[in-house]
Structure 1
């Protein structure tokens, strides 16, 4: 019966959407009607409102709905949704500011003389508007009203002209900042958590280990990551559009003729182009640049974009003649001033210690006030001019409300879908497909593409993605990132704006196109661009680094980048460092030999031994590398024969676990029958018969497991263990080899700091003599803490500690404390003496050795990666690697 109500749920939803019922109410309405009907039928025919639910009943569905509502609005982790109204406001404000009109005119004049230039200008303007407004309807309507008549006047083919406008107008769905990407990031972050749980459960079931290695975990996605991941695919799509228009203009000159510019390419023309291009480009750079560089979060960048849109609107729609650009100029100057102040002084309001910092703080306050005044001035202009601000705010509230109501409705629909067992049905249908992840992925992408003919992108993002994304992300045979999956889905959903019969871009253009343009012309025009979008989808699918590289690069080169010791970096770090060893082994050995010939007798014996250990162990590193490479080679050879067997048996084991779970449910049903009089004997008999069938199926699956499985699996696991041991052996070896060198360098570089403590140690004489024991001990403890922070001060600190301890107890011994103070002073002078001598005779050689081995043998102990290593590891992590044999 659950399947019947699942079909009713889907039928209600499809019927409501096809009939034109508002999406915001169609989704929750379908869920409420289906849940109510199932509960009513259960109460009437079975005496239990939850009888026809696969999981719980209407009460559990209501609880799930409340949980989803709370998570949507109160969970801190989902705060990226705050960016939605900010970017919507920015887009509507810029659209009302007629930025599109200025851009189109300037680009048409600039590219018109080129064959197909007018079409190319439409694509470029579409890309620029996508990175500023991001609103498909506004972009298509604006370009349709301005550029379509010009293209038709200049004998452009009607299909090419309309197709170019529709396709360019949809670029805002993939080029950031995009509302689609924000919604996808929100949905995929939850999906990644579910996928991680699925993987951890699977790993525990097949290995018996409770903790899964971090490199096997699912890589999640934030809105910022999605923005960065979509930049290159968006540019690929723009390039494909331009190449298509150029090719059409060359092959069919009459379909896209050049349009000569009637005016002169003089200063006036240049000034108009700059005035049209610079403001939106500056806004793009500031908004996206702040995200890419890590200066601002997506929410903060949205606020920046909203303020930038107000500043642009303040001069663009202003009808006065005086001081048109003054607010924007004041804002620009103040921003530059604040940036200069922050680059010169490190300003902390609570700790202004120098006159320069105080002056910088005053300047920062002044520029901030000027910026606030400029923003207020522009806001007042927008408010007073044609009631623009009120209209923009109203439209923003309407659009934002629609998005959030759809999110809530989709959460209710998804909960209902799960209540009727739909999620398990989808999971079983996908996981049972032959071919693993790629078959599942192709089926899902085909379904999304077909749904795009009838549904909007928001419905697909919030209804389909939560159901299928956890399954795809959990698949270990592809091990894709959530960012890549999100961008692929985003590119696919972009076609929904172009695919008839419900492609919204088609309707938008139809509404403003002249009567000479028939609907069939628009449909014919978008077909090649749909093909180009699918081709772009293929390119991105075959080249994951196009999506993954920028997020990885930004993360690994940021201030918050993980240290080289991070477990998730180890495999890619190993690849890069081993490659360096292969190319520079002789250089490293030569550096070690050079260090071995340096006279280090000035150093204490313990440090001499440490340097000898560094040289000896570093020479042995290459043997450890060979062990790891040999273990990897053995694994690679064994995997070729083992893979098919592993995949086959693991698939059967998953089926067995599913059947065992079904048996547990039946047994629970039978146990509950003792307390539920409504369950008949026939129902119990049916449940027991089902259990017998399930047990028979399990026996059949177990009998199909090849007899050599146990021995082959144990052999392969032993090889994996050997590789793990070899890697850990290498990592421990290089850490132990480099650590003494790192410590000696820290000691020698701290000689001046230690020397500065000489007066503090000497002052202990007065402290001990002229104060009571408690006061003296407190003062000595302060000195101990200072010495603790200085590498190489251990001997001095130990003697200072003994001086303090001599003052403890009922009978403090000041003379003993003074004696230890004298020893500490002598030790400090001795340590500083040998450090200074070593700094002139040994330190240069140690620095050369550190330069030779610091970022290969010693890389794991560094605070952060070098830029070169960070970029190489980012490239390494940008490809998808099959990890299925670990499960």
Structure 2
């Protein structure tokens, strides 16, 4: 009864709109006092300090800094312009360029908000001007902007690695093939749609392509546009996959390289540095405040035997491992409609991870499934954060209904990839076994 009352109080408080971090901590302290008494105030600081001293979590502010700095450098804008012209003769080439640049940004930053805003500002006006339907343009941008959830270096994978006690390097390797599969299906959808409904996905005019190719230094422009983002990806992922650096160290390398690239582009100055540091501090503080609240909740939940009750309930119901996994995936998908992925990771994963371990499941595979599932939380109405980010930078002619209709096919594609990974675990484990 205490466990049910704890969850009910937390859920009601969240429905009333109280901040998640303070709701988690406040409700947990109230219940914890009745469970532990005054000892709670000795146990809780020790647990919070133990969590905050986890070196793995140092990667979060460093990856955030790297992503924000790259956004300010202007590299993404040039890459999008070049790629859209290179693929201009292909019908749907502009949309495919947006997907590929979104993939490159995902592999460079891992920050969904920065990617969606950047892509929205750069590509949405161009796509609308070229005659793309608003639904298609917004769907492509919002979905490609969320690729940072699954393509390394993904902040959600760093957080899952910390919560589930799994190697972040193994998670990054396991996420490569699912990420590539997702990008491939996005591109295939656009290509098929361009054949079925060619009026909705026009190609770039021949005059614009000819003018671009006749420019002086044509080849040099292309090379420079691709080399700089590739260097950043190589510095981060290359150092992790080759074993030269841990994910935390690689995040530091990435932050340093992103700063160098911004300086190379002659965009680095004191004002830019202040903006980047301010945004990094804001985003990092939000993540860690929720983490403190979730740590308090986890302490109280386990203190009242909540995890043991849940495990015994699962065993008594005689659910198969796949049956339990399906229930968890469905629950997370529904929760993603209403709350943020960080809250889902910190509140629910500590509860269900022991049960996955009891079922002797591969936690790397489970974490990739969770990451793919949480990716949809950025896209699913009514509270998909990517949709909010994009609406904030979209022209007035783009309505919320356009965003909601345009994103549905991409949600279905993500659910298809989630199903493939669920029933074919080799998609995740193949590279790690090499």
Give TM-score, length-normalised by structure 1: 0.47
Q: Give SS of 2:377's match.
A: helix
Question: Distance between the aligned counterparts of 2:404 and 2:37, measured in 1?
Answer: 45
Question: Distance between the aligned counterparts of 1:506 and 1:252, measured in 2?
Answer: 24
1:755-789 deviation digits (Å, cap 9, x = unpaired): xxxxxxxxxxxxxxxxxxxxxxxxxxxxxxxxxxx
- 1:867 is matched with none
Moved more, 13-22 or 277-286: 13-22
Cα pair distance change 1:20/1:508, threshold 3 Å:
farther
Residues 40-51 of structure 1: pairs in structure 2 closer than 5 A? 50=35
- 2:88 is matched with 112
Q: Number of aligned pairs?
A: 430
Cα pair distance change 1:20/1:505, threshold 3 Å:
farther
**Aligned-pair CA distance for 1:419:** 3.5
- 1:311 is matched with 260
**Aligned-pair CA distance for 1:59:** 4.1
Check whether the contact 1:174–1:181 (CA below 8 A) recurs between aligned residues. yes
Cα pair distance change 1:317/1:133, threshold 3 Å:
farther
Cα pair distance change 1:113/1:429, threshold 3 Å:
farther
Q: Give SS of 2:56's match.
A: helix
With a CA cutoff of 8 Å and minimum separation of 6, indicate the structure with the bigger relative contact order.
2
- 1:497 is matched with 378
Question: Distance between the aligned counterparts of 1:425 and 1:521, measured in 2?
Answer: 45
1:199-245 deviation digits (Å, cap 9, x = unpaired): xxxxxxxxxxxxxxxxxxxxxx2111111111111111111111111
Cα pair distance change 1:185/1:15, threshold 3 Å:
same
**Aligned-pair CA distance for 1:271:** 2.3
Q: Does 1:21 align with 2:29?
A: no
> Cα RMSD (Å) of the superposition?
1.8
Question: Distance between the aligned counterparts of 2:136 and 2:317, measured in 1?
Answer: 40
Check whether the contact 1:136–1:172 (CA below 8 A) recurs between aligned residues. yes
Cα pair distance change 1:386/1:110, threshold 3 Å:
farther
**Aligned-pair CA distance for 1:426:** 2.4
- 1:236 is matched with 181
Question: Distance between the aligned counterparts of 1:18 and 1:147, measured in 2?
Answer: 36
Cα pair distance change 1:400/1:268, threshold 3 Å:
same
- 1:480 is matched with 361
Check whether the contact 2:117–2:389 (CA below 8 A) recurs between aligned residues. yes
Kindly name which structure, 1 or 2, has the bigger radius of gyration based on alpha carbons: 1
Question: Distance between the aligned counterparts of 1:161 and 1:108, measured in 2?
Answer: 14
**Aligned-pair CA distance for 1:488:** 0.7
Residues 699-710 of structure 1: pairs in structure 2 closer than 5 A? none
Which residue among 85, 98, 102 is the counterpart of 2:78? 102
**Aligned-pair CA distance for 1:115:** 1.2
Q: Does 1:282 align with 2:258?
A: no
Check whether the contact 1:8–1:34 (CA below 8 A) recurs between aligned residues. no
Question: Distance between the aligned counterparts of 1:59 and 1:467, measured in 2?
Answer: 25
- 2:106 is matched with 130
Question: Distance between the aligned counterparts of 1:163 and 1:305, measured in 2?
Answer: 29
Cα pair distance change 1:117/1:90, threshold 3 Å:
same
1:324-354 deviation digits (Å, cap 9, x = unpaired): xxxxxxxxxxxxxxxxxxxxxxxxxxxxxxx
Moved more, 5-14 or 434-443: 5-14
Question: Distance between the aligned counterparts of 1:264 and 1:414, measured in 2?
Answer: 58
Check whether the contact 2:356–2:363 (CA below 8 A) recurs between aligned residues. no
Which residue among 219, 224, 227 is the counterpart of 1:270? 219
Which residue among 37, 49, 54 is the counterpart of 1:70? 49
Which residue among 133, 142, 150 is the counterpart of 2:118? 142
**Aligned-pair CA distance for 1:397:** 1.9
Question: Distance between the aligned counterparts of 2:363 and 2:232, measured in 1?
Answer: 28
Residues 321-336 of structure 1: pairs in structure 2 closer than 5 A? none
Cα pair distance change 1:421/1:312, threshold 3 Å:
same
Check whether the contact 2:372–2:418 (CA below 8 A) recurs between aligned residues. yes
- 2:287 is matched with 403
Check whether the contact 1:68–1:408 (CA below 8 A) recurs between aligned residues. no
Q: Does 1:85 align with 2:34?
A: no
Q: Give SS of 2:298's match.
A: helix
1:351-398 deviation digits (Å, cap 9, x = unpaired): xxxxxxxxxxxxxxxxxxxxxxxxxxxxxxx3xx25111221222222
Q: Give SS of 1:134's match.
A: coil
Q: Give SS of 2:433's match.
A: helix
Gaps of 5+ in 1: 40-49, 51-56, 190-220, 319-381, 554-887
Q: Give SS of 1:387's match.
A: helix
Check whether the contact 2:99–2:141 (CA below 8 A) recurs between aligned residues. yes
**Aligned-pair CA distance for 1:113:** 2.2
Check whether the contact 2:235–2:257 (CA below 8 A) recurs between aligned residues. no
Q: Give SS of 1:131's match.
A: helix
Moved more, 16-25 or 280-289: 16-25
- 1:162 is matched with 138
Residues 449-848 of structure 1: pairs in structure 2 closer than 5 A? 449-475=333-359, 479-553=360-434
Cα pair distance change 1:72/1:273, threshold 3 Å:
same
**Aligned-pair CA distance for 1:441:** 0.5
